[in-house]
Homo-oligomer: A and B are copies of this chain.
Amino acid sequence: MDNMSYAVTVLSGGMDSTVLAHLSKGLNEKVDLVSVDYGQRHRTELEFAARTADKLGCRHDVVSLPIGEALSSALTDTDVDVPHGHYAEDNMAVTVVPNRNAILISVAYGIAVARGATTVQVGVHAGDHFVYPDCRPAFVDQLGVALKTGNEGFGQVELVAPFVHQSKTDICRLGDVLGVDWTDTWSCYEGGAVHCGRCGTCVERREAFRDAGVEDPTEYADPDYAFEVLARGSGS
């Protein structure tokens, strides 16, 4: 076991982490997939994560960790205004968990240390940098250094983010090369039976397929909205 490449890969069930799971499977002798049920509004994605785990034949643990609930209960009845207005915007609902990536990565890292894995792989990518500081390369680098120090003697696990300098369009292109079945992925923040086509992540999804020149097999409740927004230039 000692020299094998063994990745614990964080899989949300979205496009980015699903492509990452396929990439990890190619790169590593052994891959375990970990999803975190943190009470996300779009938890449908967890069912899509299970599909990918099944297809790749990887061990898949869904860790139930209500950080959203815990933090929001800790945030209620505070006498200080939450200083970030955009948290309240509809398509930013998921960002209601401050410091989310550090928490999720720390949990995955704990699992990796306990299992003797060699890497933790996460799908953060360059398209998220502008909005989310916890998707920036410097953050991933610094957190990786801290976690190695904090587990010295118990395991030497590298934190790896292969897409940190790539766009979502790049990830879509790679997924196409890897043969990812996109119907195994879920992006929408709304909890509907099909992708809404209107939320921020649906618009981003359509844009990535378009720009990568990859056919998008996704069924959208509103198939026109995204391209109208993108044509107006107000999409990302």
Contacts and interface: CB of A to CB of B under 8 A. Distances in A.
Contacts of A110: 67, 71, 97-100, 102-103
A73 interface: yes
Among A136, A153, A154, find the residue whose CB has the most chain B CB atoms closer than 10 A: A154
A75 interface: yes
A65 interface: yes
Interface string A64-101: 11110111011100101111100000000000011111
Contact of A111 (B64, B71, B152): B71
A133 interface: yes
A142 B146 contact: yes
Copies of this chain, count: 2
A162 interface: no
A150 B101 contact: yes
Contacts of A103: 103, 106-107, 110
B150 A133 contact: yes
Interface in A28-83: 34, 59, 61, 63-67, 69-71, 73-75, 78, 80-83
A90 B1 CA distance: 28
14 contacts: A34-B74, A61-B74, A65-B65, A65-B67, A78-B115, A83-B155, A98-B113, A101-B150, A102-B147, A103-B103, A106-B106, A139-B146, A139-B150, A142-B145
Nearest to A82: B114
Interface string A176-189: 00000000000000
A116 interface: yes
A202 B146 CA distance: 30
A138 interface: yes
Contacts of A149: 133, 136, 138-139, 142
Given A103-B110, A110-B97, A154 B84 contact: yes
Contacts of A142: 142, 145-146, 149-150
A32 B153 CA distance: 34
A133 B153 CA distance: 8
